[in-house]
Structure 1
């Protein structure tokens, strides 16, 4: 299968005028206005459980930031079940794990995508010690180096309730978005995920609810709210 055939569809790129693309732009705007005193430059997504749409959300968010003439890099820090190389149809031979294990330099792992202004750092080969890798000082140094090269740094992390990786990365970023599937996730799982992030003082910018059925329509939309205290 060719790279182009292997790409997942990015609706914000293919259908920029669609209601869902507009919802991603609204998410971008809400993030930009979520903090008055501090700059939100490094943002991660996580979810309570697998399959809630966090990777789709952050990929489309990356596209709409790039469409706003921002220099964007998306890091696939889900070192257990990575998806970014499929989404953007790029090689996963070198990536985040390669940089953190000193198998390559950072600039070798940054790849351009078919979306102008958008670069990606794929996961790289799946390592035996993902949690230790993202907890390393080298991960922190990588993020700081990227701050000087890009306007927006987006990081996809594993589900919060599955492993500790998301909690670790949350201590290294400016803000966290919790992505939830409204038809799948249970309230107690949401509260537990939020509690685990709160334990590391994560700055939860808000929540994205996926797959909310609109009345009188067969479509689905993404809804964002910034009040994470509820």
Structure 2
């Protein structure tokens, strides 16, 4: 796995590749770590921009769908949405259109090139994303998605930029924290941890991008517990 240079990339479909195997391992680790309390709805968060958060959200969702899990990927980053492009999807209609009652959820959901994976774009970007995410309408939408899909993955803005990710994580089954080794600063990671703790969000683990391996290559690591 690598940071989102040039935008998120769909790597999980390249069978036999190191990236595809990494995402399958991540999926398996999450499943085994959460046996007693399955995390069906996850917010993928990071402390700072450029950690690879959107790439992880995209590929984790694709990997879940490939495994036979009915999955929906939600672009919940109303500051800098980036997931429509890699999927050949539309930004609108999306979340904000549904919350405002402009379209139904059925009309906003989009099929993707990945069998079993649906996509819900952000829709028109709102002036106050945090207020929108805290609304009762958003709560109802999240419950409806939970009823429809076996797994729902939400991409969110970096916690150092906005509180949106913490707001979503508090309403979901948990948060998966993505960090870039050698890039993310410890104070930023500590601030992200505190932001999640303050809303009593459950941290299901951490994905460490750009982990140095043998022969000076880079990969990722998955760690269970607090970020």
For the criterion TM > 0.5, the same-fold answer is yes
Q: Matches of 2:8 and 2:163 in 1, distance apart?
A: 27
Give the match for residue 206 of structure 1: 205
> Which runs of 5 or more structure 2 residues have no equivalent in the other structure?
1-6
Report if the CA contact (8 A) 2:8-2:58 is conserved.
no
Residue number in structure 2 paired with 1:59:
58
Cα offset for 1:76?
Answer: 0.4
State how far apart, in whole Å, the 1-side matches of 2:8 and 2:41 are: 24
1:153 aligned residue: 152
Q: Who is 2:11 aligned against?
A: 11
- The residue correspondences of 1:39-188 to structure 2 (distance < 5 A) are 39-188=38-187
Give distance in 2, aligned partners of 1:21 and 1:109. 29
Asked if the contact 2:47/2:189 (under 8 Å) is kept, the reply is yes
Contact 2:8 2:83 in 1 (8 A): no
- Farther-moved stretch of structure 1 (35-44 vs 62-71): 35-44
Q: Measure how far apart 1:171 and its partner are.
A: 1.2
Deviation at 1:227, TM superposition (A): 2.7
Matches of 1:75 and 1:166, distance apart in 2: 12
Deviation readout 1:41-97 (Å, 9 max, x if unpaired): 101101001111100001000111011001000000101100111121111120111
User: TM-score, length-normalised on structure 2?
Assistant: 0.93
1:88-111 CA deviation, whole Å, 9 max, x = no partner?
111112011111122211111110
What is the rounded CA distance, in whole Å, between the counterparts of 2:176 and 2:135 in structure 1?
A: 22
Q: Structure 1 unaligned runs (5+)?
A: 1-6
**Stretches of 4+ aligned residues off by more than 4 angstroms:** none
Alpha carbons of 1:8 and 1:170: their partners in 2 closer, same or farther (altered >3 Å)? Answer: closer
Q: Alignment partner of 2:85: what SS?
A: helix
What RMSD over aligned residues (CA atoms) do the two structures have, in Å?
A: 1.4
Q: Decide which of 206, 217, 220 is 2:218's aligned counterpart.
A: 220
